[in-house]
Copies of this chain bind each other. A is one copy, B any other.
Amino acid sequence: MGRVLVALGGNALQRAGGHGTWPEQVAQMRSTAAVLATLVVDGEELIITHGNGPQVGTLLRQNELAERELPRRPMDVLGAETQGQIGYLIEQELTAALVRAKVPRTVLALVSRTAVSRKDRAFKHPDKPVGRYYTEAEARTLRKRESWEMEYDGARGGWRRVVPSPEPLRWIEGEGLRRLLPHGWGAHIVPVVTGGGGVPVIETSQGTYEGVEAVIDKDRTAALVAATLGADTLVILTDVPAAAVGFRKPWEKWLGEVRAKEMETYLQRGEFGEGSMGPKVEASLRFLRTGGHRAIITDPPSLARAMRNETGTRIVPD
């Protein structure tokens, strides 16, 4: 069998329409973990990465509500906190699922940093909305007081902070870790890495790192991690069973096995939403370009069948 990197996003961690309580997150992760355990039973070596959008949003809001009494922490720090929070959740639930499935492993969550470049054009054009909605007056104040970049969201009729979303260049802890791991480590541990895409840091000319307030697309970082740790399959878990062309149009067509070249054409044509399916397809194509054998886009209930090439979108080399 192979080595599989699974990127958990959206509903794999937090149920849509819930209240965001901890027991809800535990229940959601428990059902996802049961699915992940079946992969290990089938002989796969697992690596896990995950998003952190809703969790960082909660920490930003708590920092805001408490700021009269306690100083806010910057976004890079809050990102690291979500790696602790979600890493612990995955350690707990995946350890349990693997014990129940009689394939025990040490689930090991690492605090991960990802290098980005100061010259990345994203720093000139911040466009990734984070946190809550504000009124126009609040937006004006925040722009002045905090030097935040603010953007109007017509659909919701409110203002939001936007931060840069630069390209991930290197997973800082990755090289060191890889050189240490003995052959066949996948039979013993399940690493949980680069949560939220990794904490974004910029390398200085002295070879040290500075944290920055930005977000990194977790699926893009996943493609990097896959190359570093030698995964042959990348699984991007989301809330739909597959990618589609003509999504929600009369000519909608769900995609099964697709060659990279064909997928590239759909991507260029703008078939996939910019903030949703687009980055997933793009990360999948990157992964194949760096030697990956197969990228799967599906939801947790379909994962086991998608691994057997029976459902989900499977992108394969030309």
Q: Within 8 Å CB of A99, what residues of B?
A: 206-208
Q: Within 8 Å CB of A89, what residues of B?
A: 77
Q: Within 8 Å CB of A192, what residues of B?
A: 111
Contact A185 B180 (CB under 8 A): yes
User: Which segment, of A56-64, A117-125, A224-232, A305-313, faces chain B?
Assistant: A56-64
Residues from 172 to 221 in A contacting B, C-beta threshold 8 Å? 172-173, 175-177, 179-182, 185, 188-189, 192, 199, 201, 206-209, 211
Q: Mark A68-86, 1 if CB is under 8 A from B, else 0.
A: 0111011011001111110
Contact A88 B95 (CB under 8 A): no
If A61-B66, A61-B69, A106-B176 touch, does A111 touch B84 (CB 8 Å cutoff)?
yes
A113 CB–B CB distance under 8 Å: yes
A19 CB–B CB distance under 8 Å: yes
If A95-B209, A188-B180 touch, does A71 touch B111 (CB 8 Å cutoff)?
no
Q: List A residues at the B interface (Cβ < 8 Å).
A: 19-22, 58, 61-63, 65-66, 69-71, 73-74, 76-77, 80-85, 87-89, 91-92, 95-96, 99-100, 104-111, 113, 172-173, 175-177, 179-182, 185, 188-189, 192, 199, 201, 206-209, 211
7 contacts between A and B (CB under 8 A): A22-B73, A76-B88, A77-B85, A82-B84, A83-B111, A88-B111, A92-B208
